[in-house]
Amino acid sequence: MTTPVRVRFAPSPTGFLHIGGARTALFNWLYARRNNGVFILRIEDTDRDRSTDEYIEAIVEGMTWLRLDWDEGPYRQTDRFDVYRAYADRLIAEGKAYYCTCTPEELEERRQRALSANQPVAYDGRCRERIEKPAEPAAVRFRMPREGQTIVNDLIKGPITFENSVLEDMVIVRSDGTPTYNFVVVVDDIDMKITHVIRGDDHVNNTPKQIHIYQAFGWEVPAFAHLPMILGADKSRLSKRHGATSVTAYRDMGYLPDALVNYLVRLGWAHGDQEIFSREELIQCFSLEGVGASASVFNPEKLLWLNTQYIINSTPGALAEAVLPFLVKSGILAADSDVSMDWLGKAAYSLRERSRTLVEMATQMHYYLAADIAIDPKAREKHLTPESIQLLAEVRTMLAGLTDVSAAVVEPLVHEMAVAKGLKLGAIAQPLRVALTGGTASPGIFEVIEIMGKELVLQRLNRVIGG
């Protein structure tokens, strides 16, 4: 019987969910969904000085926005100290760990001596044969093998060999009783029956240490897949100087979650030449074999292009739901507004090919929603001449007599008016656009009239024409 796949995303809540962490979460989520497995969210908050509840909430918020739903958790390591203590006691009882009474000052003094003598600075093992628990405060160290090699058969990078002679007896429980990262990670993986560890390649050097702890408990070592890092355009590690790096920052800038997911999965993974994937396609196609071993470069322009494609291909209903918070935040729409979502969807849909982000879409929607608009001075001077205002007056009279101002009705009538006057359609359409939207660029003006509705259109024309 095949062991069911169980994977975990285990962020440290010392900051917001960033792009690299989100990609790691995504690859774990996809691997679980592709293999009908279990995706676990685990919060590694043993760093009490830097971990905060605010960051935990931000991580959960980012995961929820990206729709990376987890099957178990979120588990917090700070809730499991009794578990770690029991596992450490077992190692001590079996002679696989020991108490160490070396003080930080003593360790630093030896380290400096070793550096001066050009010798290895690893722990020298002087407490290695201690059996009894000392009376004074003591750390617990894991007894590492001193000979041979540890081979990590990485599913992405291939075999990686480490000499055991360079692996020092690491502290697994500090003298104050708090467990350390490399120890609790393994205990959690054992308790949660993790089968595959998919994480960033900054953890590669931790892996041989962790492998020995798995083996000390007689546990089958999980399969490891270390994801290459994400670089900025200058080929240095992605950081704030390259722009926004947190997931929620992209949400607030008006990116769609599916667009960011699509972009993140292509940072290091490929499936032929395909660029755009639905969630269902990603789950169907994803495999670790498709993940490259070299670093990926984060390209904000490519992400913006991808977001534009997702906006263009969204339904009116989806756009209405997505843009509404941005309309409220910008003050274009009141929070308690009873605006029709069907109408809002039509307005948003009309702007889909002109908006790269939801922020841009919300900004452009002001002329559909505002009681009044400002007209660009250059557009006014060029297009709202006395002659064109006379044409607009005739359009106003025509519209006032209609009960239906849909594009299908209005466009032929304006076209007939232009032909009768020997004018091109633009001679009427462009002044009409400036009067209704305040500028020279908008969706088709007859579509704009239909969405605005007769009452608002006449109000705008009255302000321009007067009388």
For the domain bounded by 377-465, which CATH number is listed?
1.10.10.350
**pLDDT tens, position by position, 54-69:** 999 999 999 999 999 9
The H or E element spanning position 40 is strand 38-43
- Kindly report which listed range (43-52, 193-202, 453-462) carries the lowest average pLDDT score: 43-52
Q: Say yes or no: domain 6-76+230-301 is CATH 3.40.50.620.
A: yes
Q: Where in the chain is the domain with CATH 1.10.8?
A: 315-369
**Distance separating alpha carbons of residues 282 and 66, to the nearest angstrom:** 14
Decide the pairing of beta strands 38-43 and 72-76: parallel
What rounded mean pLDDT belongs to the chain? 93
| The one-letter amino acid at 260 | L
Would the pLDDT of 112 be above 70? yes
Would the pLDDT of 99 be above 60? yes
CATH topology of domain 315-369: Helicase, Ruva Protein; domain 3 (1.10.8)
Residue 460: partners with Cβ closer than 8 Å, 6 or more residues away: 373, 435, 436, 452
**Distance separating alpha carbons of residues 142 and 435, to the nearest angstrom:** 77
Query: Torsions phi, psi of 71, nearest 5?
Result: -95, -25
Place of tokens 């006691």: 89
* pLDDT for the residue numbered 49: 74
Residue 419: partners with Cβ closer than 8 Å, 6 or more residues away: none
* pLDDT for the residue numbered 1: 52
* pLDDT for the residue numbered 467: 54
Distance of CA 281 to the CA centre of its chain: 19
**pLDDT tens, position by position, 257-269:** 999 999 999 999 9
* pLDDT for the residue numbered 244: 65
**pLDDT tens, position by position, 313-358:** 999 999 999 999 999 999 999 888 889 999 999 999 999 999 999 9
Would the pLDDT of 234 be above 90? no
Residue 166: CA atoms inside 13 Å, Cβ hemisphere, count?
A: 8
**Rounded-to-10 torsion of CA 22, 26, 29, 30:** 180
Decide the pairing of beta strands 158-163 and 149-154: antiparallel
Active centre residues (catalytic): 240
Would the pLDDT of 193 be above 90? yes
Burial 426-454 (b: 16+ CB within 10 A, else e): ebbbbbbbbbbbbbeebbebbbbbbbbeb
The superfamily (CATH) of domain 80-227 is HUPs (3.40.50.620)
* pLDDT for the residue numbered 47: 78
Place of tokens 């704030």: 240
* pLDDT for the residue numbered 21: 95
**Distance separating alpha carbons of residues 320 and 101, to the nearest angstrom:** 64
Q: Which ranges in 48-121 belong to alpha helices (H)?
A: 53-65, 81-93, 104-116
Q: In what order do the strands lie in the sheet with 6-9?
A: 6-9, 38-43, 72-76
**pLDDT tens, position by position, 409-458:** 999 999 999 999 999 999 999 999 999 999 999 999 999 999 999 999 99
Would the pLDDT of 89 be above 70? yes
Q: Where in the chain is the domain with CATH 3.40.50.620?
A: 6-76+230-301, 80-227
**pLDDT tens, position by position, 389-410:** 999 999 999 999 999 999 999 9
Would the pLDDT of 360 be above 70? yes
* pLDDT for the residue numbered 237: 84
Q: Kindly report the length of the chain.
A: 467
- Kindly report which listed range (100-109, 154-163, 277-286) carries the lowest average pLDDT score: 100-109
